[in-house]
Amino acid sequence: MMINNIVPKKEWSVYELTSYLKKKVEMDVLLKNIYLKGEVIRPSVSGDHLYFELKDLEYDAKIKCVFFWFDKSVEIKHGSKVLVKGNVIFYEKEGIIELKVSEIIDIGLGELFVKLKQLEEKLRQEGLFDSKYKKEIPRYPKKVGIVTSKNGAAIRDILNTIYTRFENIQVYIYSCSVQGQNAPYEICEGIEYFNTSEPVEVIIVGRGGGAFEDLMAFNSEMVVRKIFESKVPVISAVGHERDYVLSDFVADMRAITPTNAGEIVVSFQNQALEKLNEYHKRMKSAMGKIFNMVKEKVGILQYKLYQNSLANTIAKRAQDIDLYCNKLSFAISRKLHEAHKNLKNFEKRLADANPESRLSIARTNFDNCSRRLGEAFKKIFQQKEFMYKVNLEKLIALNPLNVLKRGYSITLHNSKILTTIAQVNNGDEIVTQLSDGIIKSKVFFKKEGAESNV
């Protein structure tokens, strides 16, 4: 009954809640000028302000801190153990509690950072970071192994970079934890897997960015030693450019980001493709110029070849023969015309004279002259016809095309007919004239003598 009589409070808006919390925090005197001791995580300077997180030295707890108008002469590093003084503030727009620092005192490096430095120095003394042990990253790898989490952003960045720039590459992924207690063991198993079970040409070991403690798996001594023992070149790609882990020092190459690791793997392929494309363009341009030059020269040679060809020579001779025939026919016609004219004159003179005897003599003389003239014309015509046939037979007999039709050929070099092998050398280009066309060839062998076997 009492529960039913309780009057519920009104609903709060987000603004009302954040405003209430802001007032509570600002009015609480216990949150004013407090001192906190902890380890600095991911410090960054923006303008004159210092932003960092303060991690508890014993428990997994941390708070964001801001130091306005920070004195830059004071060096605050990641992992530094500090004592800070300040007021707790609440940002109502974002609902975030921060510590507004007014003083900061460096009281020594955090224990985790100290242990890490000690391990780094130990491994350096053993020579694990020496450059003489670094293996060369293959220029054109066909198989790449990646040891990282399949669900992280790093694997997407690496794959996008590789396949965007070069598709013809096989990528194998060994998914493992990249933070937590089991991460070092799983990372080592991935490196061993790509050394034995699935051999590759290069291994990328890494993850995306994170807090200092999130990257500790790659500071593990067992991971560092496993990378050193790897027979396959290893690229360390952990976090961002500002993040350094021990795997960066022992690896054969450090990539400032996972994306950069993908770029390193395919960088030489990209350069090779770019050079190949450049050479292709240059070769295409050069071949175009050469083709145009050769085309122009071929046109000139074709014209010269036509002018000096046997077919053109025969055509000219045939034209000469036609001209001579026309002249001969015209001369005969003129002679006949003159004879006919003379005959008419004789007839006229005969008619004028008219005496019987003179007419008889004249007729006899006329008959004789006509007969002799006919015989002379016939003889002249026969002689001309005979000479025409003789010349035509000689021309036909001397026509090289008829010789070529019997299986013979004419070989030319530089538009000159070859009569001896001394006129050519090995490598010279020659042209062979057959009855139905020409053949271009190059001299690879020559031998003196009339033997047909070569």
Residue-wise pLDDT for 252-299, tens only, equals 998 888 888 888 887 766 565 666 677 777 788 888 888 888 888 887
Q: Are the beta carbons of 70 and 41 closer than 8 angstroms?
A: no
Query: For the chain, what is the HEC assignment?
Result: CCCCCCCCCCCCCHHHHHHHHHHHHHHCHHHCCEEEEEEEEEEEEECCEEEEEEECCCCCCEEEEEECCCCCCCCCCCCEEEEEEEEEEEECCCCEEEEEEEEEEEEEECHHHHHHHHHHHHHHHHCCCCHHHCCCCCCCCCEEEEEECCCCHHHHHHHHHHHHHCCCCEEEEEECCCCCCCHHHHHHHHHHHHHCCCCCCEEEEEECCCCCHHHHHHHCHHHHHHHHHCCCCEEEEECCCCCCCHHHHHCCEECCCHHHHHHHHHHHHHHHHHHHHHHHHHHHHHHHHHHHHHHHHHHHHHHHHHHHCHHHHHHHHHHHHHHHHHHHHHHHHHHHHHHHHHHHHHHHHHHHHCCHHHHHHHHHHHHHHHHHHHHHHHHHHHHHHHHHHHHHHHHHHHCHHHHHHCCCCEEEECCEECCCHHHCCCCCEEEEEECCEEEEEECCCCCCCCCCCC
Q: Is the pLDDT of residue 3 over 50?
A: no
Spatial distance between the Cα atoms of 376 and 336, rounded to a whole number of angstroms:
11
Confidence band, pLDDT 50/70/90 cuts, at residue 1: very low
Spatial distance between the Cα atoms of 413 and 443, rounded to a whole number of angstroms:
11
Confidence band, pLDDT 50/70/90 cuts, at residue 348: confident
Torsion of CA 226, 228, 234, 240, to 10 degrees: 80
Q: Are the beta carbons of 55 and 13 closer than 8 angstroms?
A: no
Position 327 scores a pLDDT of 85
Q: Are the beta carbons of 439 and 432 closer than 8 angstroms?
A: yes
Place of tokens 């002679």: 335
Mean pLDDT calculated for residue range 49-59: 87
Q: What is the pLDDT of residues 132-163, one digit of tens each?
A: 988 988 887 889 999 999 888 888 888 888 87
Which strands, in side-by-side order, build the sheet including 234-238? Answer: 170-175, 143-148, 202-207, 234-238, 253-254
Structural Rg of the chain based on CA atoms: 55
Q: What is the pLDDT of residues 363-414, one digit of tens each?
A: 788 888 888 888 888 888 888 888 888 888 888 777 777 777 777 788 888 8
> Which CATH class for the 115-270 domain?
alpha beta
pTM above threshold 0.75: no
Q: What is the pLDDT of residues 409-453, one digit of tens each?
A: 888 888 888 888 888 888 888 988 887 888 889 888 888 775 555
Position 271 scores a pLDDT of 61
Position 231 scores a pLDDT of 92
Q: Is the pLDDT of residue 6 over 60?
A: no
249: Cα within 13 Å, side-chain hemisphere? 22
Query: Can you give the residue ranges of every domain in the chain?
Result: 14-109, 115-270, 310-398, 405-442
Query: Could you tell me which residue, 321 or 73, shows the higher pLDDT?
Result: 321
Q: What is the pLDDT of residues 91-139, one digit of tens each?
A: 888 888 999 998 887 766 556 676 778 888 898 999 988 989 889 888 8
Identify the CATH number of the domain defined by range 14-109: 2.40.50.140
Q: Is the pLDDT of residue 187 over 90?
A: yes
Percent of the chain topping pLDDT 90:
15
Position 88 scores a pLDDT of 92
Same fold, 14-109 and 115-270: no
